[in-house]
Structure 1
Amino acid sequence: MTLTLRRALGALAATALMLTGAIAAVAPTSLAAQMIPAMTGIRTGQNPGFDRVVLDLTAGPAPAVRYDLVDELIADGSGDIVWLTGEYFIAVAATPAAAHDDAGNPTYPGPQKFRTRNLRNVMAVAVTGDYEGTLSIGLGVRSRTPVSVFTLTSPNRVVIDVRH
């Protein structure tokens, strides 16, 4: 076998491996896109020492969550200020998550903004974004206190605890 033939076969084998790898890499991504958990409800409750806000989600991978203490809440997409009752504000984002199905229909039938008169620190909750696999929620609070944001599974939930 000549050196030129070996190089050609090596290049052909490398190309086949790259194509096979590319096909394998595309399949999980499209599957993951179909498995984005969708929000179906928002629940609130007062507990000893903290207020809890829970986002109920459909099946799929548990989203990564993060929060920021912000001066104002901004609507994803438009960049408009979301006016919400509160002295201080907490912006929470969950990825991947949505509040709509694949056809664009809302999966969360509740209000986009509501007061929480039954809680001690959290005064109001708003859905601030549902864009490109990121679900954003804003909280208006009375005072700056420690916040804990985490996920639970079986069923999927995002939990936001705000101390009194």
Structure 2
Amino acid sequence: MPRRVLLPALAALSATMLLAGCGEGPGPAASASSASSSATSPATSSATSAVPSVGTAPAARSADAEPTGSSGAGEPAPSFPGDSSPDTAAGSADALVTVTGIRTGRHDGFDRVVLEADGTGTPGWDVRWVDGASSQGRGEPLEVAGDAVLQVTVTGAGYPYDTGVEEFSGANPLPGQGTANVTEVVFDATFEGTTVAFVGARAESPFRVYLLQDPVRVVVEVADAG
């Protein structure tokens, strides 16, 4: 009888030791790597490996979780997955949004411009390099610092009295925050279903555009000048 009790106990002890040796939790090396990645992420954004293709809308992320394009410590940054040709995307059928905020930031190999919006549905966009900036409706020329101008048109836009959302009223022009290529952003308000902002740059370069949710953001990333 005692022998029958001892054998199951030994078997259980062996199984426990085996599971401890094959646990799924991160070891010291993995933890150190994770801490290093967190410490080197840009202050304005959390690093992520997902990089969207041009003109696509990635899955929703938190407000500061846009992809940074950083490849990790000690490794060269990946090539910028964009080009200099116009980028357009349609909004949802019920889109009626107002741009509420604009911000800029610096990341590894590119600058970022974010246009945050609120309202109904999701906006579309038309983003392209233009010879110069001019105001919607009036056609008056606008001064934009830099040697190149990227026109960002948000479609599916509505006036504040239609959306019930207060429109962006911050610094205009908005200077680049530590940016390398982007000089400033000039906001041109809303006219007949579109809202336009002009991004000044030191040189034309590849760019990419995508949509993020919660809150809704049209994100424009401009590569460093070659």
Tell me how far 1:98 sits from its aligned partner.
Answer: 4.1
Identity %: 31
1:105-163: per-residue Cα shift (whole Å, max 9, x none)?
A: 85212123222251100001011241111011101100111011221122110101000
Distance 1:101 1:112, change over 3 A: farther
Richer in strand (by share):
1
The answer to whether residue 152 in structure 2 is matched with residue 92 in structure 1 is yes
Structure 1 residues 103 and 45, CA gap change in structure 2 (3 angstroms)? closer
RMSD: 2.1
What's the offset of the Cα at 1:80?
0.6
TM-score norm. by structure 1 comes to 0.73
Matching residue of 1:53: 113
Distance 2:159 2:222 in 1: 23
Could you tell me which runs of 5 or more consecutive residues in structure 1 were left unpaired when the two chains were aligned: 1-30
2:101 corresponding residue in structure 1: 41
Counterpart CA distance in 2 for 1:150 and 1:133 is 19
When Rg is computed on C-alpha atoms for both structures, the one with the higher figure is 2
Runs of 4+ in 1 over 4 A off after TM superposition: 103-106
Q: Which residue of 2 aligns with 1:16?
A: none
User: Which amino acid letter does the alignment assign opposite residue 135 of structure 1?
Assistant: T
For 1:105 and 1:152, the matched residues in 2 are separated by 19
- What is the CA deviation profile of residues 64-87 of structure 1, one whole-angstrom value per residue up to 9, with x for unaligned ones? 111111110111011011101010
- Report the equivalent of 2:171: 111
TM-score where L is the length of structure 2: 0.54
* Residues 66, 149 of structure 1: 8 Å contact kept: no
For 2:119 and 2:163, locate their aligned partners in 1 and report how far apart those are by CA, in whole Å: 17
Say whether 1:125 aligns with 2:185.
Answer: yes
